[in-house]
A and B are shown apart, each in its own frame.
Chain A
Amino acid sequence: MAQVTLRKVVKNYDETPAVRGIDLDIADKEFVVLVGPSGCGKSTTLRMIAGLEEITAGDILIGDQVVNDVPPKDRDIAMVFQNYALYPHMTVYENMSFGLRLKKMPKADIDVRVQSAARILDITELLQRKPKQLSGGQRQRVAMGRAIVRDPKVFLFDEPLSNLDAKLRVQMRTEIKKVHQKVRTTTVYVTHDQVEAMTLADRVVVMNGGNIEQVGAPNDLYHAPATKFVASFIGSPAMNMIPCRLEQAAGALRVRLTDEITFPVPASRTARYQPHLSKSRLLFGLRPEHITEVPRHLEPEQHPFEVTLDVTEPMGQETLVYFTVNGTEICASVNPTAGAQSDARMALAADLSNMHLIDDETGMVL
Chain B
Amino acid sequence: MTDAAANAAGPSRTIQYGSMSRDRKWALRWSYFFLVLFAIFFLMPPIYMLITSLKTSAEISAATNPWWVFSPTLDNYVALLTQNQFLVFFRNSIVVSVCVVAVSMVISVFAAFALARMRFWGSATLATGVFLTYLIPDTLLFIPLFKMFAFVRDTFGIELMNHWWTMIIVYPTLTVPFCTWIMIGYFASIPKELDEAALIDGATWMQTLFRIFIPVALPGIIAATIFAFTVSWAQFLYPLAFTTSTDQLLLPVGIITTLIKGDVFNWGQIMTGALLGAAPPLIIYAFLMDYYIAGLTAGATKG
Contacts and interface: CB of A to CB of B under 8 A. Distances in A.
- Do A and B come into direct contact in the complex, CB within 8 Å? yes
Q: Which of B200, B203, B218 has most chain A Cβ within 10 Å?
A: B200
Q: In terms of DSSP, what is the predominant structure of the interface of chain A?
A: loop
A131 to B, nearest CB: 11
Contacts of A103: 202
Contacts of B198: 87, 98
A250 B199 CA distance: 68
Interface string A37-55: 0000000000000111000
Contacts of A83: 191, 193
A72 interface: yes
Contacts, number: 57
A166 interface: no
B102 to A, nearest CB: 22
Size bin of chain B's contact surface: 10 to 19
Given A82-B193, A83-B193, A88-B216, A102 B200 contact: no
A77 interface: yes
Contacts of B212: 87
B191 A99 contact: no
Contacts of B203: 73, 98, 102
Contacts of B18: none
Size bin of chain A's contact surface: 20 to 34
Q: Which of A81, A82, A146 has most chain B Cβ within 10 Å?
A: A81
Nearest to A80: B197
B66 interface: no
A102 B216 contact: no
A85 interface: yes
Nearest to B197: A85
Interface in A128-163: 146, 150
Given A87-B212, A89-B215, A89-B216, A77 B200 contact: yes
Contacts of B194: 85, 87
B190 to A, nearest CB: 9
Interface of A: 50-52, 71-73, 77-79, 81-83, 85, 87-89, 98-99, 102-103, 146, 150
Interface of B: 191, 193-194, 196-203, 207, 211-212, 215-216, 218
